[in-house]
Amino acid sequence: MSAFTDKRLAGRTALVVGAARGIGAAIAARFVREGARVVIADTETEAGEATAAALGGPEQTRFVQTDISRKDGAEHAVSTAVDAFGGLDILVQNAGIYPWTLIEHISPEEWDAVLGVNLRGTFLAAQAALPVMRARGGGRMIFTSSVTGPKVSSPGHGHYAASKAGINGFIRSAAIEFAGYGITVNGVEPGNILTEGMKAHRSPAFIRGMEDAVPLGRLGTPDDVAGAVYFFASDDAAYITGTTIVIDGGQILPEGNDFRLSPG
């Protein structure tokens, strides 16, 4: 039977932060296909409401407007899941921002904004969800990191790379602290994923250049990331905590540009 029809998350409630579009929307859609009830949290109200409506009615999906960089925003998102569906079993913090600015030009305000959403938001989401999951005897926390920061980097992403490397460190610490409550904490490290944002803000030449750097010959899709997040949320990952999965088509593996072998 297909993994898309097994309903292996039936009876569980998930909160997916940063799910109005792109990777987060794909994660929410995968969870719904697997039978979960899903609360979509995002700053983008119109897009978030449209995504929630497309995935199901109020018995299956809800939307809540949330600024995850604020403590009250994280707590409101969690309480929405509890009020709507009676609890919280799975937390995914996928929200992130990634302005392009060279380190010499990053203002303290921009630095704080990036770390506020990406890293502080991860901490606040976990802290808000912890009491609910602890009372239920367990749960799953999954955070979207990146290959940028933990594995590689590029000019213009100093603040973004720092925030994502910080997420990996937080995952390890939280995994140790929450293990006694039956809560697993893991993350995904996407490479270049072909989202609406990349299509809108990157040129076709840039996208082709990224594809040429990937041994599998294509950029990732939001569904590629959603599959790994679903794995961490499923019973198959019950004994896995404090780790991440790289989802990059092998992009970080080559030592140089001349890595392709001819079929012969």
Q: For position 231, which CATH number holds?
A: 3.40.50.720
Sign for the CA dihedral angle at 43, 48, 49, 52 comes to negative
In a domain, 1, yes or no: no
Q: What is the pLDDT averaged over residues 67-71?
A: 98
In a domain, 41, yes or no: yes
In a domain, 7, yes or no: no
In this predicted structure, the answer to whether residue 264 has a pLDDT above a threshold of 90 is no
Sign for the CA dihedral angle at 240, 244, 250, 256 comes to negative
CA 106/CA 249 separation, integer angstroms: 31
Q: Which structural domain, as residue segments, surrounds residue 181?
A: 13-247
What pLDDT does residue 259 have?
75
In a domain, 70, yes or no: yes
pLDDT in tens, 5-52: 579 999 999 999 999 999 999 999 999 999 999 999 999 999 999 999
Cα angle 35, 41, 44; round to 5: 130
pLDDT in tens, 140-181: 999 999 999 999 999 999 999 999 999 999 999 999 999 999
Tokens of 115: 């770390």
Spot the catalytic one: 160, 181, 230, 239: 160
In a domain, 240, yes or no: yes
Nearest Cα to Cα of residue 152 among 18, 258, 254, 260:
254
| C-alpha dist (Å) from residue 78 to 65, 67, 138, 221 | 12, 12, 15, 28
pLDDT in tens, 73-118: 999 999 999 999 999 999 999 999 999 999 999 999 999 999 999 9
CA 159/CA 225 separation, integer angstroms: 23
What pLDDT does residue 1 have?
36
What pLDDT does residue 199 have?
84
Q: pTM to 2 decimals?
A: 0.94
**Annotated catalytic residue 160:** yes
Q: Considering its fold, how many domains does the chain have in total? A: 1
In a domain, 261, yes or no: no
Q: What is the pLDDT averaged over residues 120-134?
A: 98
What pLDDT does residue 191 have?
96
In a domain, 63, yes or no: yes
Residue showing tokens 């929450």: 178
In a domain, 61, yes or no: yes
197 membership: H or E segment, kind and range: helix 196-201
* Amino acid at residue number 62: R
